[in-house]
Amino acid sequence: MPHTTSGTVRKKWILILCAWTMVGLLFAAQGIVVEKVQGAHVNWVIEGALELVWWYVWAAYTPLVMGLAKRFPLTGPRVVLHIAIHTITSLTMAPVASVTQYFLSLGLLRFVFHITGTDVLHFLSPFGVGVLFMSFTGLLTYWLVVGLYQSMHFYQVAMERQTIAAQLETQLSHAELENLKSQLHPHFLFNSLHTIGILMQEDVDAAGHLLVSLGDLLRMALAQRENEITLQSELEFVGKYLEIEQTRFHDRLKVHMDIPPDLLGVYVPSLALQPLVENAIKHGISVDSTAGRLEIAAKLHNGRVRLCVRDDGPGPAPGSLLRFGVGLTNVRSRLKQLYGDEASLELTGGDGRGCEAIITIPLRNSH
């Protein structure tokens, strides 16, 4: 921790020196251009050295000014008092800094005169005029540093608030997803127990086997803590569910899957296909003794993944409005939470028979 603090302080001082060096060089360039335009003789080295001496004095004062800006911010209920404190401090600090600048500059010029014998003392104004001019500049500099610190502080606070808001939004979205997902378990459990209850009157042994399968299925459902899993994992879960339903329907339920192997690794919402399959069996196959074909397909379409579940039941009556039950409404809400407008769930009637549910989601591979 001490090493980190030392590194932070060093970085802070480097930034301060770089900033004031740029300011000094800009003022030196401006002075040189003005003197050139006026036709005066220009000593580039002396001009640059004097400017850097002046601004490096303010570089030394900068941490103190920023500390005062932090201690007495120009916001809040005591802003008037803080402005008064900064006013008094700036009126005191600016002349002190100016006297320091003057004598450092004088020392620099005398050193150059001693070494080179060149008369460079004329670069410095008389003490009174020089200190008065530099005090005025120092006054502006003090308030500039205070204003800059306030701007940086406001920006940092805004960024922190934005980060916190994004984190809260993510947590809220995650909580909503977990809530929607948790609703699937009792819904699915109720329908499965209903199926077993019916079978208990027909085949007790088969009903007992279903209870064991249901236990395995619930363990898989509870183990799925992620909101997205691979299509292969989702199909394994659906396969367990279909084992239960095939026990109930015996040989009547025929499942046909059309899943390209290269799509098994794409991410899909967990527990998304099971409600579609359950809906097809409950409202399609189970209501018509002649129905029994269930198709599950996946394919790429315009760079997105389409998951389709189709049954050959009687389908909706002509002109009737297809309605989403609890399971499909839940799936649609989860798609909205996970992908926004990039995902959809459509429910349409087949070609004169059956019903088709299609999930479209963005393509995301697990590799």
Give per-residue pLDDT as tens, 128-181.
888 888 899 899 999 999 999 999 888 988 899 888 888 887 777 666 666 666
Give the H or E element holding residue 362.
strand 355-362
In single-letter form, the type of residue at position 309 comes to V
How high is the pLDDT of residue 207?
Answer: 78
What mean pLDDT is reported for the chain?
84
Contact 236, 319 (CB under 8 A): no
Span 219-226, average pLDDT: 72
Percent above pLDDT 90 for the chain: 28
The angle subtended at Cα 256 by Cα 251 and Cα 258, nearest 5°, is 170
pLDDT of 144 = 92
Q: How confident is the model at residue 109 (pLDDT cuts 50, 70, 90)?
A: confident
Angle formed by the axes of helices 231-249 and 127-200, nearest 10°: 20
Residues with Cβ within 8 Å of residue 343, at least 6 apart in sequence: 335, 336, 359, 360, 361, 362
Of residues 221 and 310, more confidently modeled: 310
- Span 203-212, average pLDDT: 79
